[in-house]
Amino acid sequence: MSKMRQCPPGDGIQMKNIFSRRNFVCSGALVAATFAASKEVFAVAGERPSAQEGSPFRLGLASYTFRNFTRPQMVGFLKQLNVLELNAKDVKDHLPADAREEAAALADYAAADTKLHAAGTINFQKDEDADIRSKFEYCKRAGIGVIVAGDPAPQTLPRIEKFVKEYDIRFAIHNHGPEDTFWHSPLDVLKAVKGMNPRMGCCIDVGHTARAGTDVVQAIHAAGPRLLTYT
C-alpha cells in the first residue's frame, strides 16, 4: 500500500469538541483509502461483498468531490471504491444540463451500474416557475429522486414546494456554514420547512454543521424523516 500523505493541521477555527472542516475532510479521505484498500483484501479472501450487502445504509459519493476529473475517470474511481451510488452535479462532464449531453452521461452511468440517487448542489436563485421547472425536468430526465439545493431564499420555498408535489422529487436544502446567507445549520432548514410537504427537508453537511456550532447528532435527530441525504 502506498504511504499516506500527512493531512495538514486545522484551519484555525477554534470550537470546543469540534473538528475543523479540513480535519474532518482529511478523516474522510482516510476512510476512502480504507475502502480502496479493502478491495485488495477481499480479492485475496475471495469473498468481497457487494456495495449494499448486509448494511442498512447506502454509501454514496458526490461527483463534486471529483470536480477536477472527467466522467470516465470518476466512474473508474467509483469502481475501485466499490461505491455504486452517486450524487451528480453539473460540473465538468458529470451530468450536463443540456438534454443530449445529459443522456450520454446517463448511458455511461447505466453501463457502469452506477445509480444516481441525487443531484446537486443545484442553485435556485430565481423565484420564477420557468427556472425552477427546468431544474426539476433536469432531474426527472435522470430519474433522480432528490434535489440537493444550495441557496434557495426562504421566500421561494412555497413556489418550490408546488414543484416538489408535481414531480414527486424530494428537495434537500444543503446547509453551508456560518458564511451562508440563510442556511448556517440544518436547524435553520428545519425551521423554514416546518409544516411544509414532508418531501421538503435537509441535506446535512456534517462539516459545515460542525463549523456552525451545531451538534451533528442532535441535528440528525431533530431532522428525523426530513433528513433526505447528507454529505
Q: Each residue of 26-70: pLDDT tens digit?
A: 444 434 433 343 343 333 333 444 544 555 566 889 999 999 999
Sole residue written with cell 449531453: 101
CB atoms closer than 10 angstroms to residue 231: 22
Contact assessment for residue 150 and residue 122, using Cβ atoms and an 8 Å cutoff: yes
Kindly state the percentage of the chain with pLDDT values over 70.
75
pLDDT tens-digit readout, 110-142: 999 999 999 999 999 999 999 999 999 999 999
Does 228 or 32 have the greater pLDDT score? Answer: 228
Stated pTM of the model: 0.76
pLDDT number for residue 51:
46
Range 181-209 average pLDDT? 96
* Longest CA span, the chain: 56
Average pLDDT over residues 7-19: 38
So what CATH class is 21-230?
A: alpha beta
Residue predicted with more confidence, 8 or 214: 214
